[in-house]
Structures are given as structure tokens and as C-alpha cells.
Amino acid sequence: AERAARAAVAAAAAARAVEKRAAAERAAAEREEAEREAAELDAEERAAALRAAEKRAALEKKRQAAEKRAAEREAAEREAEEREAEVNETEKVAGGLEVEMQTAATVSGERREVEGKAAANAGAEREPAQIGADCGGAEEAKKD
């Protein structure tokens, strides 16, 4: 009976040992599964972080391109304004030159008119004297 009791105690101890081993194996399997899940989550988180970083980089690139286009547009507008100012200044100068040329032409025309009248008046005044001089010169030539 004592042997039977010892055998029963040994069998119970062996059963407990098998049970402990099975529990340890289950715990190890659960731990491995949890580690796999954690690794998968880490991979998913890294992939999501990578996608987010790529999206941020793409948005930054678009922002920089938009800023560049805006700067180019502003530069083009400034250049157009400068050209318009140059054209306006050129037109202003040309207008001033045209006015000066018209004034000069008017003054020149008036001067020619005055000179013409003066020459006509001088010619009219000199004519009788010139005729006398010519005649006098001819008479002196006859005397010689």
C-alpha cells in the first residue's frame, strides 16, 4: 500500500511536471506570438511612418515649387512694370522731342519768313542803289 501511495505521489508529481512543462510551452508559444504581433505592428508603424514622411516630403516639394512659381511670377510682374515704365519714359521723351522739333520747325519757319521779308526789304532798298552803282560802273567802264 505504501508503494502504491508512493507510486501515486510520483505519478501525481510527474503529472504536475508534465502540466508545468505544457504550461511553460504554452507561455513560450504565447510569448512568441506576442513578439510576432509586436514585430508586425512595428513593421506596420514603420511603414506608416515612412508613408507619412514621403507625403510630408512630397508636400514640401510642392510648397517649394509653388513658392518658386510665385517668385518667378512676381519677378515677371516687376520686369513688366519696369518695361512699361521704360516705354512710358521713352514715349514721354519722344513726345518732348516731337514738341521740341515742332517748336524748332516753327521757329525756323518763322525765322526764314522774317529773313525772307528782311531780304526782300533789303533787296527793295538796294535795288535803286545797285542799279545806280551798276550804271555808274558801266559809265566808268565806257570812260576807260
Instruction: Give the tens place of pLDDT for each residue, 108-119.
Output: 878 788 777 777
Instruction: Give the tens place of pLDDT for each residue, 61-78.
Output: 999 999 999 999 999 999
Tell which wins on pLDDT, 13 or 105: 13
Encode burial over 63-89: b for 16+ CB neighbours within 10 A, e otherwise.
Answer: eeeeeeeeeeeeeeeeeeeeeeeeeee
122 has a pLDDT exceeding 90: no
Quick one: pLDDT at residue 19?
A: 95
Nearest CA to 36 among 20, 28, 47? Answer: 28
Tell which wins on pLDDT, 57 or 99: 57
pTM higher than 0.85: no
Cα 92 from chain centroid? Answer: 30
For the CA atoms of 55, 61, 63, 69, what is the dihedral angle to 10 degrees? -150
Quick one: pLDDT at residue 41?
A: 93
Q: Give whole-number Cα distances, 85 to 34, 41, 75, 77, 91, in Å.
A: 75, 65, 15, 12, 10
The single residue listed with the C-alpha cell 511536471 is 17
Tell which wins on pLDDT, 13 or 133: 13
Mean pLDDT (the chain) is 85
Nearest CA to 101 among 109, 86, 88? Answer: 109
38 has a pLDDT exceeding 80: yes
Encode burial over 124-143: b for 16+ CB neighbours within 10 A, e otherwise.
Answer: eeeeeeeeeeeeeeeeeeee
What percent of the chain is predicted at pLDDT more than 90? 55
Quick one: pLDDT at residue 106?
A: 84
